[in-house]
């Protein structure tokens, strides 16, 4: 059964044009909702659907919306998190570039449900072309009467503002995103208070990921029970998996939640490169703990991946075959997080830099006895002790690389060289 939801129309030429999107049923969910459904009914539908956030944490979307206080006397804001900066993650870009009106309709529906009159689409600065495409689509929607004053004669007003970030990974964290929107440096805020009550400009605010909001028109059109029937219990719907690394066919694949990882890699991606064998898989972007080849039968949903010791995260699946030096892979990751730490918390500011220095020494053939114990001690002291999760995101993968490929790290230190680089290929 074809369960494609978000990518079912990507083959249609000129899908970015509003007329093409409308011919495929676009904006019908919005017209129906404004005419037949109250904001509370939409929130209850999303709750019942089981949709969980697609940005990383997997928090139930409808429940998150329900935290917004009623009649607070302050405006409510909706922020679309398009700051897709997690290494190995590129699935939101597909929606932004290929089907922007799907996102815009989902944003309008969500804003209507929340009582929001002004929404912000925060997009990473490097996404120049996606930003231009979305800005053009917003202008088309405004010309058609889907944005602006008195949308479709309903009395509901909304505008969407596109805000381009300056390329900081930390601004993908929701409170740093809000700081950036307000014109300040992207430093995460202490919580509580949470954005749902005190967010943008001190007002109630909801921050949702691109993929999350793109699902809303389909849920409104087809009903909560339809959406909940896809996937597995507690993990409804489909997921966009961005697969990169050592597979035959890299790309973005939409599959039901709970699909086995082996099915994604073998049936859809064509397996690892010829003459090589699978060594490791990062299941949810670079910040998630690595899985080993013997864990390839785990199911791709939030709960199954958690039981396997990792996180589904942003569903950026990075595949590594037996030619990969895990020390070098860990070094690359540590360098990224050392550069992207905002420096606000000591454990993160100092810890990310120390992880990078030690791994650089080991990878360069200058490792010392005790370095691995030092790495693990650093990781333990970096987790759960900072304002935002970047410190955890830096520590968790390094900890898993050292623990699961300890012999390889130890060989680097003992032999003062990379033992993987000189190894011959091993056939699958």
Residue-wise pLDDT for 299-330, tens only, equals 999 999 999 999 999 999 999 999 999 999 99
One domain, residues 338 and 400: yes
Residue of 259, 315, 323 lying closest to 55 (CA atoms): 315
83-137 confidence digits (pLDDT tens): 999 999 999 999 999 999 999 999 999 999 999 999 999 999 999 999 999 999 9
Taking the C-alpha atoms of residue 369 and residue 414, their distance in angstroms, rounded to an integer, is 8
CATH number of the domain encompassing residue 264: 3.10.20.600
pLDDT at 1 over 90: no
One domain, residues 264 and 330: no
Contact 160, 119 (CB under 8 A): yes
pTM score:
0.94
419 pLDDT band, cuts 50/70/90, is confident
* Domain range enclosing 157: 18-228
One domain, residues 171 and 62: yes
Contact 284, 239 (CB under 8 A): no
Q: Tally Cβ neighbours within 10 Å of residue 194.
A: 15
One domain, residues 146 and 210: yes
One domain, residues 205 and 64: yes
Contact 49, 236 (CB under 8 A): yes
One domain, residues 79 and 158: yes
Cis peptide bond N-terminal to 31, omega within 30: no
Contacts of residue 223, Cβ cutoff 8 Å, sequence gap at least 6? 45
216-231 confidence digits (pLDDT tens): 999 999 999 999 999 9
71 pLDDT band, cuts 50/70/90, is confident
Average pLDDT of the segment spanning 289-303: 97
Torsion sign over Cα 205, 207, 210, 212: negative
247-283 confidence digits (pLDDT tens): 999 999 999 999 999 999 999 999 999 999 999 999 9
**pLDDT number for residue 423:** 56
The last residue of a domain, from among 286, 321, 356: 321
Torsion sign over Cα 164, 170, 172, 175: negative
**pLDDT number for residue 428:** 42
Average pLDDT of the segment spanning 407-420: 93
**pLDDT number for residue 422:** 55
pLDDT at 139 over 60: yes
């Amino acid at each position: 059964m074809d369960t494609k939801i978000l990518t079912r129309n990507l083959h249609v030429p000129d899908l970015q044009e509003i007329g093409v999107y409308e011919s495929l049923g676009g904006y019908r969910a919005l017209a129906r909702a404004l005419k037949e459904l109250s904001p509370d009914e939409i929130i209850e539908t999303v709750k019942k659907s089981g949709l969980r956030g697609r940005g990383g944490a997997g928090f139930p979307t409808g429940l998150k919306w329900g935290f917004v206080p009623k009649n607070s006397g302050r405006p409510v804001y909706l922020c679309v998190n398009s700051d897709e900066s997690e290494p190995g993650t590129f699935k939101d870009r597909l929606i932004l570039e290929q089907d922007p009106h799907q996102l815009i309709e989902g944003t309008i529906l969500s804003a209507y449900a929340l009582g929001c009159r002004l929404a912000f689409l925060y997009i990473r600065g490097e996404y120049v072309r996606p930003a231009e495409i979305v800005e053009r689509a917003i202008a088309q929607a405004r010309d058609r009467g889907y944005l602006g004053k008195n949308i479709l004669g309903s009395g509901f007003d909304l505008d969407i503002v596109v805000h381009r970030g300056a390329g900081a990974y930390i601004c993908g964290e929701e409170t740093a995103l809000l700081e950036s929107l307000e014109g300040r440096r992207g430093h995460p805020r202490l919580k509580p208070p949470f954005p749902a009550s005190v967010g943008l400009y001190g007002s109630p605010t909801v921050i949702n990921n691109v993929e999350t909001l793109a699902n809303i028109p389909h849920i409104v059109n087809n009903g909560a029970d339809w959406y909940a029937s896809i996937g597995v219990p507690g993990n409804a719907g489909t997921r966009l998996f961005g697969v990169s690394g050592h597979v035959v066919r890299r790309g973005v694949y939409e599959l039901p939640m709970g699909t086995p990882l082996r099915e994604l890699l073998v049936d859809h991606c064509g397996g690892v490169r010829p003459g090589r064998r699978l060594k490791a898989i990062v299941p949810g972007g670079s910040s998630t703990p690595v899985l080993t080849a013997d864990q390839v039968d785990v199911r791709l949903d939030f709960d199954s991946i958690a039981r396997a010791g990792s996180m589904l995260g942003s569903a950026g699946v990075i595949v590594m075959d037996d030619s990969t030096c895990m020390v070098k892979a860990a070094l690359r990751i540590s360098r990224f997080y050392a550069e992207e730490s905002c420096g606000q918390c000591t454990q993160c500011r100092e810890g990310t830099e120390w992880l990078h220095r030690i791994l650089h020494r080991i990878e360069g053939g200058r490792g010392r006895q005790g370095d691995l114990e030092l790495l693990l001690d650093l990781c333990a002291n970096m987790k759960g002790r900072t304002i935002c999760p970047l410190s955890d995101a830096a520590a968790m993968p390094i900890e898993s690389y050292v623990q699961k490929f300890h012999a390889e790290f130890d060989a680097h230190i003992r032999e003062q060289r990379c033992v993987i680089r000189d190894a011959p290929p091993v056939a699958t």
